[in-house]
Amino acid sequence: MRLLAALGRQPLDRPPVWLMRQAGRYLPEYRAIRAKHDFLQAMTTPELAAEITLQPLRRFPLDAAIVFADIMSPLPAMGVEVAFDPGPRLTPIAPEDVALLGDPDPARVAYLTETIKLVREGLDPAVATIGFAGAPVTLLAYLVEGGGSRQLPALRRALHSDAASPALETLARATRSYLRLQVEAGVDLVQIFDTWAGWLTPSQFRALAAPAIRHVIEGLGVPTIYFAPGAAHLLDQFPALGATGYGVDWRLPLDEAWRLIGEDRVVQGNLDPAVLLTDPDTVRRATRAVLDEAGNRSGHIFNLGHGVLPDTPVECVEAMVTEVVESVRVGAR
């Protein structure tokens, strides 16, 4: 698999390419399913979730399929009621109570393991299947805030309390358990999304987030990618997390982000998703610029700096993927 080879820093003729949120609202076939089924129904019905996962692979020569799910998926299996309206909504929980939550009940996420099996059956063997989960800090943010938030005051207050470490330890254990279920079901690698890590100071990240992430990753048995948007001030700490590769957003040029993380590391990224809202010619030029910043180095995975935006024209995604796929390297190193 090209993606696994890149994660092993093997020389390749071109980098692998996949997209965060590559299955979603920009695809008319996805919208057709959602016209008949709400988000929760689509996600928890294995046949629907597998179909949604595979839809972009029928349009584009992508090197991976990321399973259609949500970073909130393990929480109901841990006894936390979550609604989607359209984003996640839940009753806020004190960090002291987060620390008392148990691991996800496998029976309550059986739909996900069945989806993974259906996806693997429908994929070309050369295409990787990606499982994923939210990082402990990001899950804690949703739990204490009750949903998304512009300033994250409840999370930032919680991180100054004695309850922060126990809460993150509990979430790390639960996330690890949730990812192991996906690995056992057949995913080839996992990505850990840390949506809100960029709000932490370097010292908070080092003391609180990093130990939790290391616990999640250690011994999973498959390659791992860690992605935290808006975290340029933390990039030099990423190697200590122990992931196989690190995603970066568009706020820094790829070569500069790579230098901060370490030239001997695997880096994923980092086209601005907003570029895909323009036109195919602009997309091709911007894609080429990212490839030039990668400089033919091994260990580059082409991706966006965040997920595909809902209003993205399909032809712009096609232009980007085509540019990457046709970018045969000469003298890859």
To the query of whether residue 34 is one of the catalytic residues in this protein, the response is yes
To the query of whether residue 188 is one of the catalytic residues in this protein, the response is no
Distances (CA, A) of 204 to 64, 174, 217: 33, 21, 19
Q: Which residues contact 46 (CB under 8 A, 6 or more apart)?
A: 111, 114, 115, 118
To the query of whether residue 25 is one of the catalytic residues in this protein, the response is yes
Instruction: Using DSSP bridges, classify how beta strands 189-193 and 266-271 pair: parallel, antiparallel or unpaired.
Output: unpaired
Q: Which residue in the list 34, 173, 206, 284 is annotated as catalytic? A: 34
Q: Which residue in the list 14, 21, 120, 156 is annotated as catalytic? A: 21
Tokens of 211: 């130990």
Report the C-alpha gap between 304 and 276 in whole angstroms.
10
User: Count of H helices and E strands in the chain?
Assistant: 15, 9
Only one residue has tokens 């890590």, namely 197
- 94 phi and psi angles, rounded to 5 deg: -65, 145
To the query of whether residue 162 is one of the catalytic residues in this protein, the response is no
Q: Which residue in the list 9, 25, 59, 89 is annotated as catalytic? A: 25
Q: Which residue in the list 14, 26, 120, 142 is annotated as catalytic? A: 142
Strands across the sheet containing 224-227: 64-66, 128-134, 189-193, 224-227, 245-247, 266-271, 300-304
Q: Which residue in the list 70, 97, 255, 272 is annotated as catalytic? A: 70
To the query of whether residue 142 is one of the catalytic residues in this protein, the response is yes
List, by residue number, the catalytic residues. Answer: 21, 25, 34, 70, 142
